[in-house]
Amino acid sequence: MDNFFGVFFIFALIGTLDADDKAEIKKKNDIAGVYAGLVEDELARLIIKSDGSLTIFPSKDSEIVLRGKWKLEKGLVVAKLLNPEGEQITAILRQTGKDMVVLKSIRPDGGVTEFGPPHFKKKKAFGEKGPSGLYEGVFDDESLLVELTHKGNVSVRSAEDPNGDDIYTGKWKLDGKHLLLNVTTVCCDEATVKVRITNTGFMIIEVDSLDGKQTYSEALLKRQDSANKKNIRKKETK
């Protein structure tokens, strides 16, 4: 009889959930899983559970384990974790298909580490359509403003001195799904920068300069299949 009332209570509780609550529960169940991939050349592993708990193994060879809680905020996975010193770290991730992309981490001192390609946010649009506009972002630890004009001109200057001299000038053109920025410094150093347009700006995919070709990719953690999950559980129990 007690069991009957317990089951009845659970179903009654489920019945009181509105559509948004049910959608969020389904989303959490869909996200829950084991993910693994390279983050800054280290093989990281992520375990997300539908009960709101989360565990991160930052490196295959490291004994450091970060544990905490996660929740959904504006479509992103926001995790609050404790480091070995007991200080809180915030990790922000985005689900892409079945996989997970690590976007950034916020350290206890407020410092932010962004992962993946350098991203420039569009501050001002120079029209209703097209990529022309003013963008701001960080590249090689330098805050920059990138201006793309309607006529295909490019100018890059320091965000700390927006009215100062241009650091790079050049031309931009569309190349399929990408933009190519052909820029030159005052000292005549040339570079071709391939960027991809995003919903909020653009991200740098490749830089081809006199120093060589540098490519940038997202910190992708791929969802592991059932066989891989079993192997991981076996390793954790040893």
| Same fold: 32-116+219-237 with 119-215 | yes
CB 206 within 8 A of CB 195: no
The architecture of the domain spanning 119-215 is Beta Barrel (2.40)
Q: Where are the domains of the chain?
A: 32-116+219-237, 119-215
Mean pLDDT lowest among 32-41, 98-107, 211-220, 228-237 = 228-237
pLDDT for residue 237: 45
Question: Torsion over CA of 19, 21, 22 and 28, rounded to 10 degrees?
Answer: 140
Q: What is the pLDDT of residues 162-176, one digit of tens each?
A: 999 999 999 999 988
168 phi/psi in degrees, rounded to 5: -130, 145
Mean predicted confidence (pLDDT) in 225-233: 53
Mean predicted confidence (pLDDT) in 95-121: 91
Q: Quick one: CA dihedral 144, 216, 54, 11, positive or negative?
A: positive
Q: What is the CATH number of domain 32-116+219-237?
A: 2.40.128
152 phi/psi in degrees, rounded to 5: 90, 15
CB 205 within 8 A of CB 194: yes
